Chains A and B, each alone.
Chain A
Amino acid sequence: MSDVLAVAEHRRGELRDVSYELVTVGSEVADATGGDLHLAVISGDVDAHAEALNLEGVDAIHTVDHGEEFNHDVYAQVVEQVYDAVDPQVLLTPNSVNGLDYGPAVANALDLTYVSDAVGVEFDGSTLTATREMYSGKVETTTEVEAESVAVSIRSAEWPATETAGDASIEAFDATVDEDAVKSTVKGFEEVGGGDVDITEADVLVSVGRGIEEEENLDLVRDLADALDATLSSSRPIVDNGWLPKNRQVGQSGKVVTPDFYIAIGISGAVQHVAGMKGAENIVAINTDPNAPIYDIADYGIVDDLFEVVPALIEEFEG
């Protein structure tokens, strides 16, 4: 029998989707060995969050009412204390930006083997087997952890959310937060990426990635966007380079778009990009690499050089 402890995530008053997905993974892992699934709900409106997470498969919810928002120094201390009390064999955290900000510290402090960004997890009570991607998603690996204790961060949107209500025990956990050890202060939040264009409103997006190589070459995709009466968007490197403003970025840290047609040109389809466009009605990929992950989600594709295909496509609509 082995117990699992999963740490919920919320931000600015809302539970994040990954919390419900953690319940799914956590109960799968716990059920496999007849163990219990414990959840830690830390900071914010813990009672409301605990109520919402009282879902099928959850055995116990431990709430720690301390501060409003995520602070990694608080999370690190509290997770360590809940871990010590529950004494689970598996610790699950989200592989979110905040998960990256405390998971590795907690794993190191507790001397747990850390497996990050898992897209699959199996546990037989002694060996945990995780599926992970490597080399920007070109290959998958099966990784075995021969460890007594292991921390796994899970990729979001890989497991379905658990939605059925449950009957977990909900209890306030008596944590001691050493304020002297809190050496960071979250001062606030800012929304970025506003401005003149709202790519989330577009029916057709012509989206450009690093395959375009040079800033001058952007004219080519601009011409295509004009010819198709479409809006121009991009992957992250184009924005990082300062070639397009932040409000054009599609993906995890940019915008989530759901157009009728998303035409990805020279975009590999990294998970953080796909998070922003997988809901598009029709996905078209133009990419020289037949193994690029974008083809896994594309509806239509042309495995060829964009510098040949895009001019021909413009010709089709303007010629």
Chain B
Amino acid sequence: MKVLVTVKEVAAVEDEFEIDGTAIDEAYLEYDLNEWDDYAIEEGVQISESEDDVEVVSVTIGPERSEETIRMALAKGADRAVRVWDDSLEDAEMLDVEAKTNLLAAVVEEEEPDLVLSGVQADDDGFGATGVSLADEVGFEWAAVVNDLELDVEGGVASVRRELEGGVEELTDVDLPAVLTIQTGINEPRYASLRGIRQAQRKEIKPMTLDDLGLSADVAESDLEIVDMYEPETESDATLFEGSPDETAGQLAEVLRDGGVGQ
């Protein structure tokens, strides 16, 4: 069986930052593996550890810099990786859900996995949509916001729990092949071991261009355009205490005592 795990390198913004036009100034961005995808990788690797003959392939759409992220997936136990990139993607202002769907669908057609694991959402531009959209495109079943998974490989069924709002979980069976969007907390993602990191150096990261995938450059065209980016106007009328920790703690303590706390 083959498990394809989609991973994204996401950008986090430093505490203080500047906006340059309709994007954050590159100097204030730090890149990391998307939190949700870390759990998806772990889930894939755990499946390969508990079932026979499972290959875990990780795929990312991203520039060269994102090799670091995909290496992390390899170091944690993915067998090999695919990195999709192209000059025409470089020029695209944003990769929307449709573009990512079509790119990943081409990889799914190439790899023919039985199971695709993606994250619930990307932490930076967070569409929360790519996995379910991909499922529709490739004709797979799916389940969104999965926090528990049991696979019956023989029977071709994934029994999942979907985490709904308010502490309610939905128990659902979905037929394979399927795309599951993985929620944090489903497992405990491992840290890459030194051995894993060494092994990852020898694992394959296959570069794929639009040409390789049989796609044309207009796959990256988007009907979405970000025309403005700004810091949200704060509705805050918070009283901010200033001074040394002793001073601020003292002022807060007064407010708390006035409110009857700790009396």
Cross-chain contact B262 with A242 (CB below 8 angstroms): no
Of B24, B133, B185, B224, which is within 8 A of A139 by CB?
Answer: B24
Cross-chain contact A309 with B22 (CB below 8 angstroms): no
Cross-chain contact B171 with A288 (CB below 8 angstroms): no
Q: How far is the CB of A128 from chain B (nearest CB, A)?
A: 10
Question: Given the known A-B contacts A142-B228, A189-B171, are A97 and B248 also in contact in the complex, defined by CB atoms under 8 Å?
Answer: no
What are the residues of chain A within 8 A of B223 when measuring CB–CB?
113, 145-147, 150
Q: Does B246 contact A (CB under 8 A)?
A: yes
Report Cα–Cα, A109/B123, bound state, in Å: 25
What are the residues of chain A within 8 A of B165 when measuring CB–CB?
96-97, 252-253
Q: How far is the CB of A77 from chain B (nearest CB, A)?
A: 12
Report Cα–Cα, A201/B164, bound state, in Å: 22
Q: Does B236 contact A (CB under 8 A)?
A: yes
Of B133, B231, B259, which is within 8 A of A261 by CB?
Answer: B259
Question: Given the known A-B contacts A137-B232, A138-B17, are A230 and B261 also in contact in the complex, defined by CB atoms under 8 Å?
Answer: yes
Report Cα–Cα, A156/B47, bound state, in Å: 35
Q: Does A141 contact B (CB under 8 A)?
A: yes
Q: Does B60 contact A (CB under 8 A)?
A: no
Report Cα–Cα, A138/B163, bound state, in Å: 26
Cross-chain contact B261 with A228 (CB below 8 angstroms): yes
Q: How far is the CB of A42 from chain B (nearest CB, A)?
A: 16
Cross-chain contact A303 with B230 (CB below 8 angstroms): no
Which of chain A's residues 253-288 have a Cβ closer than 8 Å to chain B?
Answer: 253-256, 260-261, 282, 284-285, 288
* A127-150 contact mask (Cβ, 8 Å, vs B): 1 or 0: 001000111111111111111001
Q: How large is the interface on A (under 10, 10 to 19, 20 to 34, 35 or more residues)?
A: 35 or more
What are the residues of chain A within 8 A of B226 when measuring CB–CB?
141-143
What are the residues of chain B within 8 A of A190 when measuring CB–CB?
161, 168-169, 171
Q: How far is the CB of B155 from chain A (nearest CB, A)?
A: 13
Of A139, A188, A246, which is within 8 A of B13 by CB?
Answer: A139
What are the residues of chain B within 8 A of A191 when measuring CB–CB?
167-169
Report Cα–Cα, A255/B16, bound state, in Å: 31
Q: Of the 9-residue stretches B49-57, B106-114, B139-147, which lies at the interface with chain A?
A: B139-147
* B157-197 contact mask (Cβ, 8 Å, vs A): 1 or 0: 00001111111111111110000010011001000000000
* B1-21 contact mask (Cβ, 8 Å, vs A): 1 or 0: 000000000011101110100
Report Cα–Cα, A311/B249, bound state, in Å: 9
Q: Does B130 contact A (CB under 8 A)?
A: yes
Cross-chain contact A296 with B168 (CB below 8 angstroms): no
Report Cα–Cα, A302/B251, bound state, in Å: 10
What are the residues of chain B within 8 A of A227 when measuring CB–CB?
262
Cross-chain contact A291 with B236 (CB below 8 angstroms): no
Cross-chain contact B259 with A113 (CB below 8 angstroms): no
11 contacting pairs across A/B (C-beta < 8 A): A113-B96, A133-B126, A134-B229, A141-B226, A144-B227, A184-B175, A230-B261, A261-B256, A291-B231, A302-B249, A312-B250
Chain A interface (Cβ < 8 Å from any Cβ of B): 11, 72-73, 76, 95-98, 100-109, 113-117, 129, 133-147, 150, 183-193, 204, 227-230, 236-237, 239-242, 246, 252-256, 260-261, 282, 284-285, 288-291, 293, 295-305, 308-309, 311-313, 315-317
Known: A134-B125, A184-B143, A308-B245. 20 other contacts (CB 8 A): A11-B168, A72-B144, A76-B136, A95-B128, A108-B136, A116-B126, A134-B124, A137-B232, A141-B228, A142-B226, A143-B224, A143-B227, A144-B227, A145-B225, A185-B172, A191-B167, A252-B165, A261-B256, A297-B236, A304-B245
